[in-house]
């Protein structure tokens, strides 16, 4: 009996179960031998640390943190660090695996890693967040580095967090090591174009997908779930290209204008009020229903498990461009496939961020920095080539885009391992 038919709700929304299911499907189609499957299926290293921190009121609290390196076969592990109350080891494992496949899909010389700390950032002061970050960095110090594992920002972390990590690591090394993290401030070795990179990558692959539907941007209606760094940047860049962004859904509500939202105005409204709600040039709609409205392109750009077996059959978009990691469950995959939705999977769609992170790492190691124009041009070259690689693989093997992306990634990582051999 198919796993899709028997999966419990817990299995469906468990990101590690989703990652494992998609891995197994791609491995079977590639006819990977059992030994290679065992090597690729499990993380190479998992680290759990307990982080004692003195809070502002003098109390001591202990936070739990994780760092998982899924694979270093093609280069150093690469992946973000998130601060959230619902961080779990299974989530970090899945995200690390997705980073392995993402880096392989865009063919950059990194493996996959991910980290997280269980905490509620909104309830912590900046000083408390700094102490958590620095102690977490000290605990994982021996496991990260420019040639070993290169963290980056993720949910509830930012360029300031990366600056603290870089400084802490550098103090232990006794010299400045800018290449230990990416997503840093420009003043500390960050890269031009990095804040827009993930959203820009989503726009680039969407433009490629539009060619298959004979659509022009000005005739394309877009709905975006999430208005943070990825969703907000995608909305801004796509509007400038002529796309009509008709709805934005956020954690506290959604706004809709069939003629297209004024994205710059909406950003200013949120800066002033702290929410997208109450925007005078749009009507408010239910945040769960917003992603089910009629559109040409849907971009889930926030968290995992947004599209599941409970709503996938009501998705009305022609193109699903996954700006977030794991927004679609493996059970929903088959429903979308039956509906003929053109899915641009997360490990391709949101790879613009890690691609420009790669550029940042290269620039730091060279000590020579590029113009934003050069970065954007090279990002477009890689994203377009990777889109064509995935869709070509899909056509060649008669599978959907997600399965093709996983097959392509597994094939590249497996070939690297075969070339290297197994040290014994």
Please confirm, yes or no, whether 114 is among the known catalytic residues: yes
Check residue 145 and report its DSSP letter. B
**Residue extents of the structural domains in the chain:** 43-178, 197-349
> Among residues 114, 184, 244, 287, which one is catalytic?
114
Q: Where are the alpha helices (DSSP H) in 106-213?
A: 126-140, 159-173, 197-213
Four-way CATH pick for 43-178: 3.40.50.10860, 1.10.490.10, 3.40.190.10, 3.30.70.260: 3.40.50.10860
Pairing of strands 244-250, 45-54: unpaired
Q: Which residue pairs from 12-16 have beta carbons closer than 8 angstroms and sit at least 24 positions apart in sequence?
A: 12/305, 12/308, 12/309, 12/329, 12/330, 12/331, 13/304, 13/305, 13/308, 13/329, 14/90, 15/90, 15/91, 15/93, 15/94, 15/95, 15/304, 15/305, 15/326, 16/90, 16/91, 16/93, 16/94, 16/97
- pLDDT tens digits in sequence order for the chain, 424 residues long: 344 444 577 789 888 888 889 999 999 999 999 999 999 999 999 999 999 999 999 999 999 999 999 999 999 999 999 999 999 999 999 999 999 999 999 999 999 999 999 999 999 999 999 999 999 999 999 999 999 999 999 989 999 999 999 999 999 999 999 999 999 999 999 999 999 999 999 999 999 999 999 999 999 999 999 999 999 999 999 999 999 999 999 999 999 999 999 999 999 999 999 999 999 999 999 999 999 999 999 999 998 899 999 999 999 999 999 999 999 999 999 999 999 999 999 999 999 999 999 999 999 999 999 999 999 999 999 999 999 999 999 999 999 999 999 999 999 999 999 999 999 7
Q: Do domains 43-178 and 197-349 have the same CATH topology?
A: yes
Asked if the 197-349 domain carries CATH number 3.40.50.720, the reply is yes
């Amino acid at each position: 009996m198919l796993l899709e038919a028997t999966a419990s709700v817990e299995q469906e929304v468990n990101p590690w179960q989703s990652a494992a299911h998609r891995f197994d499907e791609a491995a079977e189609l590639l006819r990977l031998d059992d030994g290679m499957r065992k090597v690729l299926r499990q993380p190479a290293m998992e680290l759990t640390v307990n982080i004692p921190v003195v809070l502002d009121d003098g109390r001591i609290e202990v936070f739990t943190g994780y760092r998982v390196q899924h694979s270093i076969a093609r280069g150093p592990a690469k992946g973000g660090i998130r601060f959230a109350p619902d961080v779990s080891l299974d989530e970090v494992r899945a995200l690390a695996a997705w980073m392995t496949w993402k880096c392989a899909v865009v063919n950059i010389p990194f493996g996959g890693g991910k980290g997280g700390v269980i905490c509620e950032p909104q309830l912590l002061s900046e000083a408390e967040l700094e102490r958590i970050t620095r102690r977490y960095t000290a605990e994982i110090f021996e496991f990260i580095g420019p040639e070993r594992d290169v963290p980056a920002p993720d949910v509830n972390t930012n360029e300031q967090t990366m600056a603290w990590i870089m400084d802490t690591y550098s103090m232990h090394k006794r010299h400045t090591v800018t290449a230990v993290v990416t997503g840093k401030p420009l003043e500390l070795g960050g890269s031009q174009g990095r804040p827009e990179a993930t959203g820009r990558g989503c726009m680039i692959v969407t433009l490629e997908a539009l060619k298959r539907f004979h659509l022009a941007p000005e005739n394309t209606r877009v709905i975006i779930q999430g208005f943070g760094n990825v969703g907000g940047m995608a909305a801004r860049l796509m509007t400038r290209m002529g796309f009509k962004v008709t709805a934005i859904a956020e954690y506290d509500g959604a706004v809709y204008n069939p003629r297209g939202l004024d994205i710059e105005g909406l950003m200013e409204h949120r800066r002033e009020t702290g929410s997208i709600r109450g925007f005078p040039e749009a009507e408010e709609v239910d945040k769960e229903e917003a992603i089910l409205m009629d559109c040409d392109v849907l971009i889930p750009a926030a968290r995992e498990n947004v599209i599941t077996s409970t709503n996938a059959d009501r998705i009305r978009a022609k193109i699903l461009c996954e700006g977030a990691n794991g927004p679609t469950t493996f059970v929903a995959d088959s429903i979308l496939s039956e509906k003929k939705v053109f899915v641009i999977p997360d490990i391709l769609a949101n790879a613009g961020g890690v691609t420009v992170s790669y550029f940042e790492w290269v620039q730091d190691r060279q000590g020579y920095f590029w113009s934003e124009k050069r970065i954007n041009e090279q990002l477009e070259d890689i994203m377009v080539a990777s889109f064509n690689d995935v869709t070509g693989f899909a056509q060649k093997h008669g599978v959907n885009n997600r399965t093709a992306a996983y097959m392509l990634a597994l094939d590249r990582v497996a070939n690297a391992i075969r070339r290297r051999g197994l040290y014994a």
